[in-house]
Amino acid sequence: MKVDILIATVILTGCVSTYQSPRHEGPTATIVLSADEASVGGVAKADLLRIQTFSDDKCSVNADGTNLAQFSLLARGDDLGGTTKQVPAGQPFILSFFHYAGVYGSRQCTITYSFMPVQGESYRAHFTRHGNQCNVSLTSAAGLPVHGVRQIIPGCSK
């Protein structure tokens, strides 16, 4: 069974590029991406949470790369407590969470948001899952709600 899970993880993550901090000169903001351990523990600790970015709300590939972070208790990934990324400020930033749960992905959810990071500001995006309900909280570093957040439906994932 663990071999099946490992193969599914490789398939799900092998075709997307890793995000690089903005390669252009310009204003940036910081975002910390995190998840509850219980939300990615799941059946046989096989759940996978992939956080991605896209260049627009049509889910076009981002020139700076797609994969922001990946959380899993089975495979090597980012620290659940938080991984920090520099993102472009002053333009819409697309943030997408894809959660693959269960041995054969019997439960999946995708949540995608767009917001406008402000130069020099810090943000936190935190993923939780309760039963079949996936949630993402996007706050300022001070824990305040971020204004102008827009959910994109359907969500993006590659």
The percentage of residues in the chain with a pLDDT greater than 70, rounded to a whole number, is 74
Range of the structural domain that residue 45 is part of:
2-152
C-alpha of 66 from chain center: 10
Domain count, the chain: 1
**Is residue 53 assigned to a domain?**
yes
Q: C-alpha angle 80/83/87, rounded to 5°? A: 145
Distance CA 48, CA 75 (A): 9
Backbone angles phi, psi at 135, to 5 degrees: -135, 145
Q: What is the CATH number of the domain that holds 86?
A: 2.60.40
**Is residue 52 assigned to a domain?**
yes
Instruction: Judge whether 87 and 30 are in contact, CB under 8 Å.
Output: yes
* pTM, 2 dp: 0.81
Strand partners, 145: 139
Residue 91 pLDDT class (50, 70, 90 cuts): very high
Answer whether residue 130 shows pLDDT above 50.
yes
Tens digit of pLDDT for each residue in 98-122?
988 766 656 788 999 999 999 999 9
Write the CB contacts of 16 (distance below 8 Å, at least 6 apart in sequence): 52, 65, 66, 67, 158
**Is residue 145 assigned to a domain?**
yes
Strand partners, 71: 49
**Is residue 158 assigned to a domain?**
no
The residue-averaged pLDDT of 119-129 equals 94
Distance CA 122, CA 87 (A): 10
Instruction: Judge whether 104 and 3 are in contact, CB under 8 Å.
Output: no
Instruction: Judge whether 79 and 33 are in contact, CB under 8 Å.
Output: no
**Is residue 112 assigned to a domain?**
yes
**Is residue 157 assigned to a domain?**
no
**Is residue 83 assigned to a domain?**
yes
Distance CA 17, CA 71 (A): 16
Beta strands in 1-158 (DSSP E): 28-35, 48-52, 67-72, 83-88, 93-101, 107-115, 122-130, 133-140, 150-152
**Is residue 103 assigned to a domain?**
yes
